[in-house]
Structure formats: structure tokens, C-alpha cells
Amino acid sequence: MRKINDETIWKLLRNILLVCGLTLILFPLYLVVINAFKTLDEAGRSFFAFPESLNTGNFTELFTNSNYWVFLRNSLKITVISVGMILILVPSVSYAVARNFEKRYYKTIYFYLLMGLFIPSQVIMLPVTKMMTKLNMLNHTGLIILYAAFSLTQGVFLFVNYIRGLPYEIEESAQIDGCSVFGTYVRIVLPLVKPMLSTLLIMDTLWIWNDFMLPLLMLNRTQEIWTLPLFQYNFKTEYSFNYTMAFTAYLLAMLPMLIIYCLGQKYIIKGLTAGSVKG
């Protein structure tokens, strides 16, 4: 009997824990969603209840009176171009390093790029801002270049180890059959590293899309170049009294990522775990 008791107590505790956890995650999000559809008056009267009617006034106001679409476009542009660059640069340099690891030049590059693992972002943020100011690159182009440069460490660390774990024989036979190094890379290596490519894609998309520190340092001058996180932060002071409006803004900022998450959550979780375990 004792063992059965044990089991039921554990199951009970576990379910209580999970329900508490789910509440803690979902309740704040629930409050954001329902209050986004309320007027300030209505939220003042009933903060926790469902909205009486689906009031989309906050949304229309944000869409028309703020530069939401501009910020969304900025965020999209920066994320897509940066991640695109990363997906081209990281695998190719990793391939070169992984397949020439016995040569001194490539080994040096590997450890040189890996140095970044030891450097916290705060060390970079001050001097890089000064440098970009001097270069007159406090704009999207500058930010994109920085993302590409800063992503190399983690990306190369993941990819070199992964490629070195792949069997070399396939590439060798392709090259004997007359395939060039570049051809081998495109036709054989890239398809083989697909799982790592998706990890890199997910990791860096999330990082760049949600990043706050670099845009704060680089773009916090004129509204037209803000990204979504920067918009939300500055929105805090601008609309501090109108909090249902603020909730609408938060909802709209989260929405793109949450939609993507709903579509591919299995791959996203898998990709991110693979990245963080190795990195």
C-alpha cells in the first residue's frame, strides 16, 4: 500500500506544481491580451474580466497614429538581412576551418574566433558605439554588420564541431568524381548540415528580433529608425498613463514571434536546445 500512496502523493504534487506554473505563465499573457481590447475606462472598472465588447480602438490608433508599421518593417529588415548574412558566412568559414584543421592558419582562425566566448557584451558596447559614431554608421547598415560580426563566435563554435563530426568520405568521393571544393560545399556539405542551419536560424532570429541593447546604443536617435523593442521601451514613457494602449503595443510586438512559434514550436525548441547545449 505504501508504494501506491507514494505514487499518488507525487502525482498530486506534480499536478499542483504544473498548474501553478501554467498559471504563472499564462495569466500575465491573458491580462495583456484582454486589456489590449479594452478602453482605459473599462480596464479601470474590470481589469481581470473579459472585455465587454471587442474594442479595437487601441489597435486602430496604434496602426494609424504611431509608426508601428515602420518599426515592424525596421525590425523585419534588420533581422532578415542579418540572419541571411549569418547563414551565408558562418557555415562557409566553419567548413573551411573544419576541413583544414591540421593547418596552422585555420586552427588559429578557429581559436581567434572563439575568443569571443569570453567577452561579455558590456565590454563591447561602449567602444563599439564610439567606433560606429566615428564611422558615421549609427544606422541599420551599421547594426546589421555588427550582428553579423558578433554572431560568428557562437556560430563557428557550433558548426566546426558539427562538421568535424561528419564523415569525410562522401566529400572525398565527390571530389574524386570531379566536384570542386565549392561544388562539394554547396551540393554535399550544406544539405548535411541542415539541422545546424535551422538551429543557427532560430537562435539568431530570436536574438536579433528581441535584442534591446544594441538598438538602444545605435538607433535611439530618431523615431524612423527604431526597432520594435526600442519602440516599446520608449512607449513606456510616452503612454505611461494609457496602459491599455501599452498592453496593445506589447501584444503587437510579441505577436510575430508567437505566430512563428505556434507554426514550428517542435523545431524551435529542438533547435534552441541543440544550440545552447553545445554553445
Partner 1 sequence: MSKTTKWRMPGKAVYFAFTVIPVALYTFFYVVSVINGVKYSFTDWDGMSVDYGYVGFKNYMLLFKNPNFWNSLKTTLFYSCMLVAVVILASLLLSVSLNSLKWFKTFVKSIFFVPAMIGGVTIALIWDQLFYRVVPLIGQFLGIEWMSQSLLMTGKTALPAVVFVQAWQAVAMPTVIFIAGLQQIPEEQYESAKIDGATAFERFRYITMPYLLPTVTVNLVLTIKQGFTSFDFPYALTGGGPVRATEVIGILIYNDAFKNMRFSVANAEACILFIVVAVFSLTQLKLTAKGGVNE
In the window 67-86, what residues touch partner 1 (CB under 8 A)? none
Tell me phi and psi for residue 38, to 5 degrees. Answer: -110, 155
Count of C-beta atoms within a 10 Å radius of residue 38: 26
**R_g of the chain computed on alpha carbons:** 24
Whose Cβ is closer to partner 1: residue 65's or residue 237's? 237
Any contact of residue 138 with partner 1 (CB under 8 A)? no
Number of residues forming the site for partner 1 (CB under 8 A):
89
- Amino acid at the residue 207: W
Of the candidate spans 51-59, 63-71, 89-97, 166-174, the one that interacts with partner 1 by CB under 8 A turns out to be 89-97
Any contact of residue 32 with partner 1 (CB under 8 A)? yes
Compute the least distance from the CB of residue 177 to partner 1, in Å.
14
Please say whether the beta carbons of 89 and 156 come within 8 A: no
- Contact positions with partner 1 (CB under 8 A) in 158-177: 175
Query: Among residues 37, 68, 71, 95, which is the contact residue for partner 1, using CB under 8 A?
Result: 95
Of the candidate spans 55-63, 66-74, 76-84, 181-189, the one that interacts with partner 1 by CB under 8 A turns out to be 181-189
Please say whether the beta carbons of 201 and 88 come within 8 A: no
Please say whether the beta carbons of 218 and 132 come within 8 A: yes
- Residue 225 gets which letter from DSSP? G
Compute the least distance from the CB of residue 152 to partner 1, in Å.
5
Compute the least distance from the CB of residue 80 to partner 1, in Å.
17
- Contact positions with partner 1 (CB under 8 A) in 237-276: 243, 246-247, 250, 253-254, 257-258, 261, 265-266, 268-269, 272-274, 276
Query: Among residues 41, 65, 102, 122, which is the contact residue for partner 1, using CB under 8 A?
Result: 122
Query: In what helix (H) or strand (E) does residue 259 lie, and over which residues does it extend?
Result: helix 243-278
Q: Which of 127, 106, 78, 101 is nearest to 229 (CA)?
A: 78
Query: Among residues 192, 212, 224, 248, which is the contact residue for partner 1, using CB under 8 A?
Result: 212
Set of cell numbers at residue 38: 479594452
Gap between the Cα atoms of 209 and 212, Å rounded: 9
Any contact of residue 130 with partner 1 (CB under 8 A)? yes
Length of the chain: 279
